[in-house]
Chain A
Amino acid sequence: MSMKTRLALLLFSATLLLATGCAEVKPWERGALADSIMIADRDPIGDMQKEHMFLSREEASGGRAVGGGGCGCN
């Protein structure tokens, strides 16, 4: 492998590494994530009714929720 190709590969890898959209949120920075507005199912009764109608129409239920609110506590 020539030096030029190696440099190009290194530059390409470095660009890929820096171009990722990932940012680590430290545990002490999770105030916004722990806000109640971030909870997907803040209206459990309303959601239950919607789920009932969805089940009646589509013959399918569930698969809406994911675990954890992102607080990072414990």
Chain B
Amino acid sequence: MLPNKSNIVRSTLLVLGLAGLTCLAASGLKVGDGLPDLGAAGLEGKLPDKLKGQVVLLDFWASWCAPCKESFPVMEKLHKEHSGEGLIIVAVSVDEKSADMEKFLKKTPATFCVVRDAKHELVKTTDVSTMPTSFLIDRAGKVRFTHSGFLGKATAKQYQDEVAQLLKEKAP
């Protein structure tokens, strides 16, 4: 027996509804959202004492990801140039083994904050689509810019411009 028209319409609506719910569930962290509570995310390592009122670059990386490693010298430069003006970089490693992260950090020392999301709790809430992904958060604690992937000089230039713009803004 062939399904009638109303059955087809009902089934289509059901499928579309389910698809919509799936999209809503996987919305992740986006521009305009607030900075997630890093202290409650169970991260391994020491977080900066004060994030409120600062410009925060939250970066998700892994030692097995080549572009992530390429971004480290750029972030180090940013940290050296702007940490005194209120820029805080928090690099969150999603490495499954801490030894892998430490091995990389031995080769490429970083003076900014590096922590590890061992249980992948924080990265799941942000639902990043690419490694690395970074979020630039303004002094009011809102996500202002996101970067999917690291495209060498182009991303480095964007970081410089966006960080300079956010540092100029006053804390509310």
Q: CB distance B1 to A27 under 8 Å? A: no
Please, how many angstroms separate the alpha-carbon atoms of A39 and B26 in the complex?
31
Please, how many angstroms separate the alpha-carbon atoms of A72 and B72 in the complex?
18
Please, how many angstroms separate the alpha-carbon atoms of A73 and B71 in the complex?
12
CB distance from B65 to the nearest CB of A (A): 5
B 114-127 binary contact with A (CB < 8 Å = 1; else 0): 00000010011000
CB distance from B22 to the nearest CB of A (A): 11
B 83-127 binary contact with A (CB < 8 Å = 1; else 0): 000000000001110001000000000000000000010011000
A-B pairs with beta carbons under 8 A, tally = 49
- Contact size range, A: 10 to 19
- Contact size range, B: 20 to 34
- The interface residues of chain B, by DSSP majority, are classed as loop
Q: CB distance A73 to B65 under 8 Å? A: yes
Q: CB distance B128 to A29 under 8 Å? A: no
List B contacts of A73 (CB < 8 A).
65-68, 130-132, 149
Q: CB distance A31 to B96 under 8 Å? A: yes
Contact among A35, A72, A74 for B151, CB-based, below 8 A: A74
List B contacts of A34 (CB < 8 A).
62, 64-65
Residues of chain B at the chain A interface (Cβ within 8 Å): 1, 3, 7, 60, 62, 64-68, 94-96, 100, 120, 123-124, 128-133, 149-151
Please, how many angstroms separate the alpha-carbon atoms of A1 and B96 in the complex?
52
Residues of chain A at the chain B interface (Cβ within 8 Å): 1, 26-31, 34-35, 71-74
Q: CB distance B3 to A27 under 8 Å? A: no
Contact among A1, A26, A71, A74 for B64, CB-based, below 8 A: A71
Q: CB distance A28 to B67 under 8 Å? A: no
List A contacts of B150 (CB < 8 A).
74
Please, how many angstroms separate the alpha-carbon atoms of A47 and B66 in the complex?
25
A28-B62, A34-B64, A35-B64 given; A1·B131 CB < 8 A: no
